[in-house]
Homo-oligomer: A and B are copies of this chain.
Amino acid sequence: MTPPQSPEQGAEPAGKSLFSLQRRERLMDELRAHGSITVRAIAAELGVSELTIRRDVNLLAVEGLVSRVHGGATLPSPLDRTASMTRPQTNRYSIGMVVPSLDYYWPQVISGARAEADERQAKILVRGSTYDAADNRQQVQALLNTQNINGLIVAPDITGEAGRELLRWLNSLPIPVVLAERRSPIEIPAHRLEWVATDHAFGAGMATRHLWQEGHRKIGCMTDSNSPTSAHVVRGWLQALGALRIPAAQSVNEDSAHVPTSDRAEHFDRILQLCRETDTTAMLVHSDTQAVAFVQHCVDRGVDVPGSMAVVGYDDEVAYLAEPAISAVRPPKQYVGRLAVQLITARISEGPKRPVHRVQLNPDLIVRDSSLGGPRSSAHALEDSL
């Protein structure tokens, strides 16, 4: 079917019918996130007929909010001569944006940034990059070379010496820079860098507490140290374990980085074995996709979810697709993008007098089936409460 779309944050895709206005908003979200949409895909996703979507597209096209193309729509393009002649086209700012991925997580951040930019008559120029400092820098440089950019939103790799060097370079750029989902570490005083990031440690803690409240007393954690957020997830999980008086040393804590897809099954088997040995009945799994794979594996092996193994995912990109649907921590991705644009535009217009802002946002916990009911065979379920 469709390639790994980014399922919007509707929680239940076809569960509730939306009003037409909301549908058009969703459509614009999708458009801002990916730059284009197909009528077919959106119709399927929203559970309405293609005709309806086409009507929406027409409406938005009349208002000049989209450009119609055969089979779908794109963001308004200057090449589109049918575009309304209104010409409120006076963009005050151009903001460059470099993100490490255009498939996962970041489309929604971009969507939020674009939405906010629209309201502020700014333009966002997005470039996809990788989780690698050298490439990050190259992409930023490319933006600076080819475009007249007033500000920059970046989600760079900040690990290692290359990452620190990149931060120093960003800090020294002549235009304002806002980091998205990254923090400038204390030890390098990049005093000009502002940032907005989700408090992933809080999210992990929230998930852990939720599992505790459902009756689990041994809660493991599976992460992927390739991802910059993993460290925060582990930190939050450990912190929560401490608060709940769960001995961290005996808790399952596995890193899935560097496990090739071919070895995944045995990796999961090993983890399940560990869980059995340690009486672990619940896992917090960083990166949703990993969580989906893990739940799938559990089902394949006859391990009941959530009865024998409760799972909470992280990121909430695809968690709702699994069977059973997976509870997941949902970072406020749209808001991260919005806030980044707010910070950048405020900085551009107010100048250096404005103090450096550093914002943390708390994620939400979306509870679905995979974590409800507590450990089935456990005698102490629900006897306590936090």
Contact = CB atoms under 8 A, between A and B. Distances in A.
Q: Would you list the 6 A-B pairs with minimal beta carbon distance, nearest first?
A: A332-B355, A356-B362, A19-B69, A355-B361, A358-B360, A21-B69
Contact of A21 (B18, B79, B118, B360): B79
A20 interface: yes
Nearest to A73: B19
B206 A239 contact: no
B359 A363 contact: no
Interface in A328-381: 332, 335, 354-364
Given A63-B81, A206-B191, A20 B362 contact: no
A33 interface: no
A339 to B, nearest CB: 8
Contacts of A36: 18-19, 22
Contact of A361 (B20, B72, B356): B356
B355 A363 contact: yes
Interface in A8-39: 18-22, 24-25, 28, 35-36
A71 interface: yes
A128 interface: no
28 contacts: A18-B36, A19-B36, A19-B69, A19-B70, A19-B71, A19-B74, A20-B69, A21-B74, A21-B77, A21-B79, A22-B69, A22-B74, A25-B77, A28-B79, A65-B79, A78-B118, A186-B202, A186-B239, A187-B239, A189-B202, A189-B205, A189-B206, A189-B209, A191-B362, A199-B358, A355-B361, A356-B362, A359-B360
Interface of A: 18-22, 24-25, 28, 35-36, 60, 63, 65, 67, 69-72, 74, 77-81, 118-119, 186-187, 189, 191, 199, 201-202, 205-206, 209, 239, 243, 332, 335, 354-364
A67 B209 contact: no
A222 to B, nearest CB: 23
Contact of A24 (B25, B79, B205, B332): B79
Nearest to A78: B119
